[in-house]
């Protein structure tokens, strides 16, 4: 097996990225990952093999310093913008604290995520609530807690939200618009094109109708536009196109209604590297292109430059996570090698949902055998329960071995299920030199039985 990649961006004086930071190939491992004796890997000075022994498998490891560093990188890239962490990537109470301490806002999609934030005293004025189908409970909770902005995603939300606002002042809202841009790593995660369940179309006039309806509701204050193009977007160009179309729409709103909306939220979707060689521009690369286009478009359409908001989630937390599994069986069929582990689509549904691909590494022993191509599969009774295809593993991989999957911090635990009554895995934070602590415990049998009240 090869050594842990060391293709790190070189820091410049003052902690900023060095000259090659924006173009250097990203590593799929946290920056603190180092090879250790006996084939082990340490993250933040903590042995991954040791964590697998202590907490069992599957277990998710999250490098706190990596999360914080990536949050700071976004703030440095756009110092005048509002950076709002997309909680759907992964949220727990500790992450709420890290995000608040690093000065980011929080983007939530449900009453549950709102309550998690409230449990840690997160400033509600720095919270954005959106979602294509907000429940009455979502809206009641948002208004009770006093969230800063609510994103209108459908015309039917306007009257319902206005009726719930009790004052004393209006609730600030934005309109999620469809800019008609097709971008993202898979058709199932492309959300900015026409014909989506998300947002209101600019081209078909729905967004402009929503503007008129909101302006007729004194309980609501329209402050800006919101869009989200998709996920795993590997180039800044779609964002530049979205800026131009949204600024043109701002000019149309000004001309028709005589108001200048002061905020523009471009959402998230910034790509991360799941395998060596995957494109994943640094925050500064996105920021430069967006800034240039925003100034150019505002000058051309003669509108005031709005305050920009971005919502990175995956790009902050995914590269900070490593999933640990234990091999249960190895079998060969029709010329293929299948390595089955004790997790699967119940803790990482992404490969089954939209073909996500990962790197995998054996840890805990120094393999002597040459490698061959293998498919890492889960334990569930589904042919689509595949965690990683066409990965190189030693020919002597065997039951009991521990496998590590980097870039696992986003959309794994947050999308985990109880399929086959498996228990959702724990999340362990590592930080500094050799410190670890449990953030989210493993579900146990009592948790499963407590919810089953039908006797």
Orientation of helix 136-145 relative to helix 155-164, angle to 10°: 50
Question: Residue range 83-105: average pLDDT?
Answer: 98
Count of domains observed in the chain: 2
* 346 in the same domain as 307: no
| Contact yes or no for 261/222 (Cβ under 8 A) | yes
* 217 in the same domain as 103: yes
> What is the span of the domain harbouring residue 338?
13-61+318-451
For the ranges 191-205, 354-368, 406-420, the lowest mean pLDDT is seen at 191-205
269 is a domain residue: yes
8 is a domain residue: no
CATH of the domain at 299: 3.20.20.10
pLDDT band at 191 (very low <50, low <70, confident <90, very high): low
* 107 in the same domain as 134: yes
95 is a domain residue: yes
Question: Residue range 442-449: average pLDDT?
Answer: 94
* 327 in the same domain as 267: no
CATH of the domain at 21: 2.40.37.10
* 245 in the same domain as 363: no
Contacts for 91-98: CB closer than 8 Å, 24+ residues apart: 91/116, 91/117, 91/414, 92/116, 92/427, 92/439, 92/440, 93/119, 93/120, 93/439, 94/64, 94/429, 94/439, 95/67, 95/317, 95/439, 96/120, 96/122, 98/64, 98/67, 98/68, 98/71
From the CB of residue 155, how many other CB atoms can be counted at a distance below 10 Å? 15
At 86 the pLDDT is 97
354 is in an annotated binding site: yes
At 199 the pLDDT is 81
For the ranges 12-16, 122-126, 195-199, 442-446, the lowest mean pLDDT is seen at 12-16
At 368 the pLDDT is 86
Within 8 A by CB and 6+ apart from 79, the residues are none
204 is in an annotated binding site: no
* 249 in the same domain as 120: yes
At 442 the pLDDT is 97
131 is in an annotated binding site: no
| Contact yes or no for 317/409 (Cβ under 8 A) | yes
7 is a domain residue: no
Question: Residue range 417-424: average pLDDT?
Answer: 94
**What phi-psi label fits residue 146: left (phi over 0), alpha (psi between -120 and 50 degrees) or beta?**
left
pLDDT band at 328 (very low <50, low <70, confident <90, very high): very high
* 410 in the same domain as 285: no
335/64: higher pLDDT: 64
303 is a domain residue: yes
312 is in an annotated binding site: yes
Average pLDDT of the chain to the nearest whole number:
90
269 is in an annotated binding site: yes
Answer yes or no: is pLDDT of 230 > 90.
no
For the ranges 127-131, 181-185, 359-363, 449-453, the lowest mean pLDDT is seen at 181-185
Answer yes or no: is pLDDT of 246 > 80.
yes
pLDDT band at 117 (very low <50, low <70, confident <90, very high): very high
Single pTM value for the model: 0.91
314 is in an annotated binding site: yes
143 is a domain residue: yes
Which of 316, 336, 361 is a domain's end point?
316
202/59: higher pLDDT: 59
List the one residue out of 309, 176, 181 whose CA is nearest residue 245.
181
Radius of gyration of the chain (CA): 23
| Contact yes or no for 331/249 (Cβ under 8 A) | no
* 414 in the same domain as 292: no
List the one residue out of 186, 281, 273, 193 whose CA is nearest residue 229.
193
* 77 in the same domain as 223: yes
Integer angstrom CA distances of residue 32 from 5, 278, 408:
11, 20, 15
Which of 294, 316, 338 is a domain's end point?
316
Which of 316, 342, 362 is a domain's end point?
316
| Contact yes or no for 264/309 (Cβ under 8 A) | yes
3 is a domain residue: no
Looking at 109, 227, 298, 381, which residue is catalytic? 381
3-state SS class at 327: strand
Question: Residue range 418-425: average pLDDT?
Answer: 94
Answer yes or no: is pLDDT of 364 > 70.
yes
Alpha helices in 216-369 (DSSP H): 237-257, 283-301, 314-317, 350-354
432 is a domain residue: yes
At 68 the pLDDT is 98
* 383 in the same domain as 372: yes
Residue 381 annotated among the catalytic residues of the structure: yes
* 256 in the same domain as 340: no
List the one residue out of 444, 441, 386, 435 whose CA is nearest residue 46.
435
At 195 the pLDDT is 62
* 199 in the same domain as 136: yes
Question: Residue range 178-196: average pLDDT?
Answer: 60
Answer yes or no: is pLDDT of 6 > 50.
no
Within 8 A by CB and 6+ apart from 412, the residues are 60, 90, 321, 323, 347, 348, 350
DSSP state string for 276-313:
TT-----HHHHHHHHHHHHHHHHHHHT-PPPEEEE--S
Rounded Cα distance, 237 and 128, in Å: 25
Question: Residue range 104-128: average pLDDT?
Answer: 97
């Amino acid at each position: 097996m090869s050594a842990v990649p060391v293709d790190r961006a070189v820091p410049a004086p003052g902690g900023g990225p060095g000259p090659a930071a924006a173009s250097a190939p990203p590593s799929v491992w946290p920056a603190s990952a180092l090879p250790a004796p006996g084939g082990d890997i340490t993250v933040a000075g903590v042995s991954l093999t040791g964590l697998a022994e202590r907490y069992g498998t599957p277990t998710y490891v999250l490098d706190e310093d990596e999360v914080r560093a990536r949050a700071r990188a976004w703030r440095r890239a756009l110092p005048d913008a509002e950076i709002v962490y997309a909680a759907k990537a992964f949220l727990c109470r500790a992450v709420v604290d890290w995000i608040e301490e690093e000065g980011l806002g929080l983007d939530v999609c449900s009453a549950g995520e709102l309550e998690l934030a409230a449990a840690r005293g997160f400033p509600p004025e720095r919270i954005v609530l959106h979602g294509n189908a907000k429940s009455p409970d979502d809206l009641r909770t948002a208004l009770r807690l006093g969230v800063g902005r609510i994103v209108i995603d459908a015309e039917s939300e306007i009257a319902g939200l206005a009726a719930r606002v009790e004052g004393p002042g209006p609730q600030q809202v934005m309109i999620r618009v469809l800019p008609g841009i097709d971008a993202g790593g898979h058709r199932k995660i492309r959300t900015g094109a026409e014909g989506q369940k998300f947002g209101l179309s600019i081209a078909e006039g729905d967004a402009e109708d929503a503007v008129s309806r909101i302006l007729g509701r004194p309980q609501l204050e329209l402050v800006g536009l919101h869009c989200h193009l998709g996920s795993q977007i590997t180039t800044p160009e779609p964002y530049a196109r979205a800026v131009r179309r949204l600024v043109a729409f701002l000019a149309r709103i000004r001309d028709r209604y005589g108001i200048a909306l002061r905020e523009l939220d471009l959402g998230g979707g910034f790509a991360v590297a799941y395998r060596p060689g995957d494109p994943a521009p640094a925050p500064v690369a996105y920021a430069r292109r967006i800034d240039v286009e925003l100034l150019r478009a505002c000058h051309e359409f003669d509108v005031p430059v709005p305050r920009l908001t971005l919502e990175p989630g995956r790009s902050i937390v995914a590269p900070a996570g490593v999933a640990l599994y234990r091999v249960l069986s190895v079998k060969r069929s029709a010329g293929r090698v299948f390595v089955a582990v004790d997790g699967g689509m119940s803790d990482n549904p992404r490969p089954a949902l939209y073909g996500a691909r990962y790197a995998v590494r054996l840890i805990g022993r120094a393999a002597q055998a040459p490698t061959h191509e293998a498919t890492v599969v889960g334990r569930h009774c589904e042919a689509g329960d595949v965690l990683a295809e066409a990965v190189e593993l030693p020919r002597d991989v065997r039951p009991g071995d521990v496998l590590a999957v980097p870039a696992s911090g986003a959309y794994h635990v947050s999308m985990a299920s109880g399929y086959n009554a498996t228990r959702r895995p724990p999340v362990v934070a590592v930080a500094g030199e050799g410190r670890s602590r449990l953030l989210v415990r493993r579900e146990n049998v009592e948790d499963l039985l407590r919810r089953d009240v039908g006797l």
